[in-house]
Amino acid sequence: MKEPSNDLTIRQIQSAAVESIKSSWPEQCFIVILGAGVQAFAYACLVFICMLAGEHHDFYAVLCFDGSAQIMAVKALFLLIMYLGSIPLYFGIRWFYWQMSAGMVMPLSSLFACYSSKKMVKRCIDIKVHTDLHLLIRVGAAAAAIFGIVDLFGLSDETKYSLKNSVGVFLVFLVLVVMFLSTIDLVFVPYVFAENNDLSAQEIMAKSKELVRRDMSFSVRLYFSYLPWYIFAVFIFPLLIIIPFMNVMMACYMRKLISSDGEQIPDAAAVHGAESGA
């Protein structure tokens, strides 16, 4: 198999992403503010739930599942509704970025296109839930394995879980790295879906894995390459820079992967036809 990513450089991908962002900076700001607004709304609702129950918490305690069983159940139900309800918006934003990587700036109304029909909403939820369950299983297994190995050394819980010592910091860093490496092969899922939304969740995940694994080392280096941008933007609204940059960069990378050798994402009919013929 031809390895198209070998002909690319990280700088080329970054340059393509920067050029795409320059052409639609107002839209990028709106998308980031929209995402922050959704999160702020969710947090405000959690605070309101706690106030109705007569419970008063600090900023972080509102997000914790403590208190009465009824309050925890209400919080869990609300977060589940928010999660499922925001999935079409998640894919709408990624579709917007996917079109940007081709040099097209879509109207902001396209962000909500996935809410256009019940069928599309169900498709989005099905794909996102399948993907997140795969990620959750991998991350959980990786974290359990790491802390299971650490337990062999007989360290106390205070040493393992406290960020006030080097061991705790190292373990957190190690878990984050393992989480990243165990989930990177599904990073293209929303863009494969944007290219062909007729594929099943399993087919979309399989295609994402195949694209990333063409050159895993390049994919990892590309994903880590945004860190200097984040450090540079710490005090100047990093979300307004990093989120659009990362999403457009990965969209540009996938588009170059599938276009460098003339490949197209197959439609569902072709996939199922090939399987039945085999």
Distance CA 160, CA 172 (A): 9
Long-range contacts of 69-74 (CB under 8 A, 24+ apart): 74/49
**Of residues 244, 208, 245, the one with CA closest to residue 225:** 245
Tell whether 275 is covered by a domain: no
Residue 156: what are its φ and ψ, rounded to 5°? -75, 160
Structure tokens at 199: 């594929």
**Of residues 245, 137, 263, the one with CA closest to residue 195:** 263
Q: What is the DSSP string of 178-221?
A: HHHHHHGGGTTHHHHHHH-TTS-HHHHHHHHHHHHGGGHHHHHH
SS in 3 state form for 124-176? Answer: HHHHHHHHHHHHHHHHHHHHHHHHHHHHCCCCCHHHHHCCCCHHHHHHHHHHH
Distance CA 206, CA 216 (A): 15
Q: What is the pLDDT of residue 217?
A: 84
Q: How many domains does the chain have?
A: 1
Residue 264 is given by DSSP the state -
Tell whether 203 is covered by a domain: yes
Q: Give the sign of the dihedral formed by CA 227, CA 231, CA 234, CA 240.
A: negative
Tell whether 91 is covered by a domain: yes
Tell whether 278 is covered by a domain: no
Q: What is the pLDDT of residue 167?
A: 61
Structure tokens at 219: 């994919």
Burial degree of 54 (CB within 10 A; 0-12, 13-18, 19+): exposed
Tell whether 50 is covered by a domain: yes
**Tens place of pLDDT per residue across the chain (278 aa):** 444 444 578 888 888 888 888 888 888 888 888 988 898 898 888 888 777 776 665 555 555 656 677 778 888 898 899 999 999 999 999 999 999 888 888 899 999 999 999 999 999 999 999 999 998 888 888 777 776 766 666 555 555 555 455 666 676 677 767 777 777 889 899 999 998 888 899 999 999 999 888 888 888 888 777 666 665 655 555 555 677 778 888 888 888 887 755 455 444 333 333 333 44
Tell whether 273 is covered by a domain: no
Tell whether 274 is covered by a domain: no
Q: Which domain holds residue 138?
A: 7-265
Q: Please say whether the beta carbons of 42 and 36 come within 8 A.
A: no
Tell whether 277 is covered by a domain: no
pTM of the model as a whole: 0.79
**Of residues 154, 145, 153, 151, the one with CA closest to residue 174:** 145
